[in-house]
Amino acid sequence: MTPPMSLTREWLLTDAPESRRQAGLGRLYRGWLQFRRNYLAMAGLVAAVFLIIVSLLAPVLSPYDPSAQDLTNRFGPVSAAHWFGTDEVGRDLLTRLLYGGRVTLGMVVAIMVLVAPVGLLVGTVAGYAGGVADRILMRITDVFLAFPRLILALAFVAALRPGITSAIIAIALTAWPPYARLARAETLTIRNADFIAAVRLTGASATRIVMRHIAPLCVSSLIVRVTLDMSGIILTAAGLGFLGMGAQPPMPEWGTMIATTRGQILDAWWVPTIPGVAIFVASLAFNLLGDGLRDVLDPKQG
Amino acid sequence: MQVVVRNLRIAFPSPQGPTEAVRGVSFALGQEKLGIVGESGSGKSLTARSILRLLPRQAQVSAETIEFDGIDVLKANETRMRAIRGKRAGLIMQDPKFSLNPVMTAGQQIAEAWHAHRGGSRKEAKDAAVELLAQVQIRDPKRVADMYPHELSGGMGQRAMIAMMLAPDPELLIADEPTSALDATVQAEILRLIEDLVSRRGMGLILISHDLPLVSHFCDRVLVMYAGRVVEEARAGELARAKHPYTRGLLDCLPSLVQPKPRLAVMRRDPAWLGT
Amino acid sequence: MSAVTDAGRSPARFRASLTGLSSVAITLFGLVLVTFLIGRAMPIDPILAIVGDHAPPDVVAKVRADLALDQPLFVQFWIYVVHLVHGDLGRSVMTQNLVTADIAHFFPATLELATTAIIIAIVIGVPLGVIAAARQGSRFDHVVRVVSLAGQSVPIFVLGLLCLLVFYVKLGVAPGTGQQDVLYEGMVPDVTGMRVLDAALDADWDAFWDALAHLVQPALVLAYFSLSIITRMTRAFMLEALAGEYIVAARAKGLSPARILWRHAFGNIMVPLITVIALAYAGLLEGAVLTETVFSWPGLGLYLTGSLLNADMNAVLGATLVVGMVYVGLNLLADLAYRLLDPRVR
């Protein structure tokens, strides 16, 4: 039966799918229905998507240029001209916030893009290969796992040079171990399954088995972990910025913005606080999203 | 001690609306041994547990009557139910590896059951626990009392479970598939033990199982359940003359060494058995 | 959380502990190696940091030889390890003290802060989690879930700043930054380095109350994150435990709900919970860095950030190493606690 032109609900939810695509799409749709019932998770999704879109559209949405200073209007209050007021050199806070979102969220995405594939690779290889390779890889993983994330990131950044690139590399270096562990645990479970033995009997190489059969199965729990982790990484990245080790001024980054305006908490409390709220909302959004995803994809955990 | 259940209905919420797991079950029980037989999903466990109101939270229970010795179980509050549970009726479950608390020793759990309903000192409870373990035919009761559930074999664990539930000296014992998790050789021993203890103490027994011949051997009366309904009720000795096609089907499916058949029968389910 | 490890009889368990210890040793070695490599990865020439830009070349050469920077990398590493074993972490460029002395001076304040925070987190978090699980779906449960969710998303430094703003500046109920009021600085003899304890030992009750008042805000701010995690994990563990068959059996025995909740369900989660708490305590070390910065608390975190800003690599690496080792130690403790306390593993 050729799939109908429209993806009807009935076609997606059928008990007897006729193609892999139909089954896959059906599974996605069922997962989506379950996810949709969770109000908090939906709120998280909406918030996260909103933040991402708003950050991407920062140049379009911002009323001002993020580096446009106006020293006559330092720490200006909330007004019609400046919806969130102005910062220590008169730059519009709303603009800085939007561009800052680009920086902060961009950092987090960059970290995830680095970390998840590396962790997946190391974990699946270690789990499938076993033996010496497994032990060595796990030792390396353990060493990086043994460091408290922020502290090691600080040390790295200090050694390299404070700035966004160093911060991304530093956080990435400390963030990958849990994914390797996770992927390895999943691989160990899957490796002994009959279908893997069957694939091996057909002559598939180890690379093919790992890439095409094992890795895809680890992806769902990895996605959950990535989303949940993103909230923590947002906090770490902002923390680095706050300590002066992340994005450097005048680049807008939520943590850095708080650091430079911290002293004005008494007189112009909104200037350091509003970026703080932004960090909170972003972190919360990913937490809620991750929780919702976990309930759908991985209900036994936690 | 009389248990009366009339028109019991138990439903669970689901995305498609409430699904009924028990659909109008009625029976009565005195100081006798009643067996409830059915396959998985027939509702037999739920029926028995509803007497003690031990159902999961989401269960929606309704009935004309659920009475334990004159006490209205449906309307009783938790405190009244706690006075019945343990002290007047006990529940043995299927797998001692899960139904015994993993971080307490067997002796501690039995002593706890004793102490909760009989009072006394900790030492008295401990001694009583050892004594009870001896009653359930455990050979080295003192040593076993100090062992954790994961260190006990299936048979020993189940004996400990029986000792635990008999400690407060109840009038009714509900055994929910007590031997399903055990080896065949141990099964008969455990059932004989239950039968012996129940007879000696003058207790009522509800034995739940999926094994028809087993139940008919050990019980006075048998209820056969299918899809949440009672389809047959007979005295154990009269089962061979059962009327309902499901029961007949069960009986026919049994392989027999005495009367070997050329071909084993297979149960064919009639949707009419599901009722309305 | 991790599953229960396999049970084993004595010789196997001894062997397991041995491999456990050797893996810790390897981890520590890796820690030292990574720290060393970070130090050598600096683009800034460490010699210039010591002697300045305008030093004559022979002074530079002498310093380079002194620091063995002209040797191949693994020789430098060997020297580094030897120094480490003797407890020599080098000298801080900023304070001119031995790094070990500096760390010994600053660490107790962090210990004071972190320990107070974890106690608060446990005392509040565990009962909240247990009761929330017992009343799953109720308003109380929802409130607890939301509050702990927020706690995991709030940036600690923002919370700290806000607390200072609200409680210190606007409401005036809490004291300002630092471990003590300027008034009391230097009045309490430094015995343990933990101001509250030292003041009590000295029976200087004015200073004691002042130090305690200063401790409250940073400790609470620091505790919020761990509290949230502990509450969530306790609740999750309890829900799992309460779904067990042995809980039905306990109810069938006619036991009181309180006894079932605490003796039976909670009794089953104590062991994994201890692991969670140990890891949360380790995580507090990270949070301490940020909290100390906000509250000017003279602990290891403040020392670390100060050294960072001054590119004082010896201090940075020394502090990183110490924190890393404490972290490893706590992880080891958590693992040991699990092995020793779970009857299924014994």
Q: A64 and chain C: CB distance < 8 Å anywhere?
A: no
Q: What is the pLDDT of residues A166-175, one digit of tens each?
A: 889 888 988 8
Which of B132-136, B264-268, C268-272 has the least mean pLDDT? B264-268
Residues of A in contact with C158 (CB under 8 A): 258, 272-273, 276-277, 279-280
Which chain C residue has the Cα nearest residue B110? C253
Q: Looking at the predicted structure, is the pLDDT value of residue C19 above 70? A: no
Q: B100 and chain C: CB distance < 8 Å anywhere?
A: yes
Per-residue pLDDT averaged across B35-42, rounded? 89
Residues of A in contact with C281 (CB under 8 A): none
Q: Which helix (H) or strand (E) holds B229?
A: strand B229-235
Residues of C in contact with B54 (CB under 8 A): 248, 251-252
Predicted local confidence at residue A299, as pLDDT: 61
Binding-face residues of C in 12-41 toward B, CB within 8 A:
none
CB distance B102–C264 less than 8 Å? no
Per-residue pLDDT averaged across C268-272, rounded? 89
Predicted local confidence at residue A117, as pLDDT: 92
Predicted local confidence at residue B15, as pLDDT: 75
Q: C34 and chain A: CB distance < 8 Å anywhere?
A: yes
Q: What is the pLDDT of residues B172-187, one digit of tens each?
A: 999 999 988 898 889 9
Pairing of strands B33-37, B89-92: unpaired
CB distance A235–C153 less than 8 Å? yes
Which chain C residue has the Cα nearest residue B86? C253
Q: Looking at the predicted structure, is the pLDDT value of residue C188 above 80? A: no
Show the tokens assigned to B165: 């539930």
CA-to-CA dists, residue B30 to A269, B73, B220, C254, angstroms: 76, 16, 11, 22
Predicted local confidence at residue C9, as pLDDT: 41
Q: B113 and chain C: CB distance < 8 Å anywhere?
A: yes
Predicted local confidence at residue C250, as pLDDT: 95
Predicted local confidence at residue C232, as pLDDT: 93
Q: How buried is C10 (Cβ within 10 angstroms: 0-12 exposed, 13-18 middle, 19+ buried)?
A: exposed
CB distance B84–C254 less than 8 Å? yes
CB distance C304–A154 less than 8 Å? yes
Predicted local confidence at residue A300, as pLDDT: 55
Distance CA C75, CA C78 (A): 5
Q: What is the pLDDT of residues A234-256, one digit of tens each?
A: 999 999 889 888 888 788 889 98
Residues of A in contact with C288 (CB under 8 A): none
B108 in helix, strand or coil? helix
Q: Which of C5, C138, C239, C246 to mutate to test the interface with B (most CBs of B within 10 A)?
A: C246
Binding-face residues of A in 269-288 toward C, CB within 8 A:
269, 272-273, 276-277, 279-280, 283-284, 287-288
- Give the 3-state secondary structure of chain A: CCCCCCCCHHHHHCCCCCCHHHHHHHHHHHHHHHHHCCHHHHHHHHHHHHHHHHHHCHHHHCCCCCCCCCHHHCCCCCCCCCCCCECCCCCEHHHHHHHHHHHHHHHHHHHHHHHHHHHHHHHHHHHHHCHHHHHHHHHHHHHHHCCCHHHHHHHHHHHHCCCHHHHHHHHHHHHCHHHHHHHHHHHHHHHCCHHHHHHHHCCCCHHHHHHHHHHHHHHHHHHHHHHHHHHHHHHHHHHHHHCCCCCCCCCCCHHHHHHHHHHHHCCCCHHHHHHHHHHHHHHHHHHHHHHHHHHHHCCCCC
Of the candidates B87, B98, B113, the beta carbon closest to that of C245 is on B98
Q: What is the pLDDT of residues C227-240, one digit of tens each?
A: 999 999 999 999 99
Distance CA A252, CA A206 (A): 46
Residues of B in contact with C254 (CB under 8 A): 82-87, 116-117, 168
Of the candidates C251, C257, C343, the beta carbon closest to that of B54 is on C251
Q: Looking at the predicted structure, is the pLDDT value of residue C70 above 70? A: no
The number of beta carbons lying within 10 Å of the beta carbon of residue C208 is: 20
Predicted local confidence at residue C53, as pLDDT: 67
Predicted local confidence at residue A20, as pLDDT: 79
Question: In 3D, which of B58, B18, B19, B17 has the Cα closest to residue B41?
Answer: B19
This model of the complex carries an ipTM of 0.90
Q: Which of A97, A242, A253, A271 to mutate to test the interface with C (most CBs of C within 10 A)?
A: A242
Q: Which of C229, C286, C332 to mutate to test the interface with A (most CBs of A within 10 A)?
A: C286
Q: Which residue has the tokens 């429209």?
A: A6
Helix then strand count (H, E) for chain C reads: 14, 0
Q: Looking at the predicted structure, is the pLDDT value of residue A301 above 60? A: no
DSSP of C108-159 = HHHHHHHHHHHHHHHHHHHHHHHHHHHTTTSHHHHHHHHHHHHHHHS-HHHH
CB distance C285–A148 less than 8 Å? yes
Per-residue pLDDT averaged across B222-237, rounded? 90
Which chain A residue has the Cα nearest residue C279? A148
C263 in helix, strand or coil? helix
A neighbours by CB contacts (3+ pairs under 8 Å) = C
Binding-face residues of C in 233-262 toward B, CB within 8 A:
244-246, 248-257
Residue C213 backbone dihedrals phi, psi, to 5 degrees: -60, -40
The most confident of A259-263, C74-78, C142-146, by mean pLDDT: C142-146
Which chain A residue has the Cα nearest residue C238? A302
CB distance B99–C254 less than 8 Å? no
Predicted local confidence at residue A265, as pLDDT: 78
Q: Looking at the predicted structure, is the pLDDT value of residue C201 above 60? A: yes
Of the candidates C249, C254, C342, the beta carbon closest to that of B87 is on C254
Chains B, C: CB contacts under 8 A, how many? 74
Mean pLDDT score across all residues of chain C: 82
Show the tokens assigned to B93: 């479950």
Predicted local confidence at residue C4, as pLDDT: 32
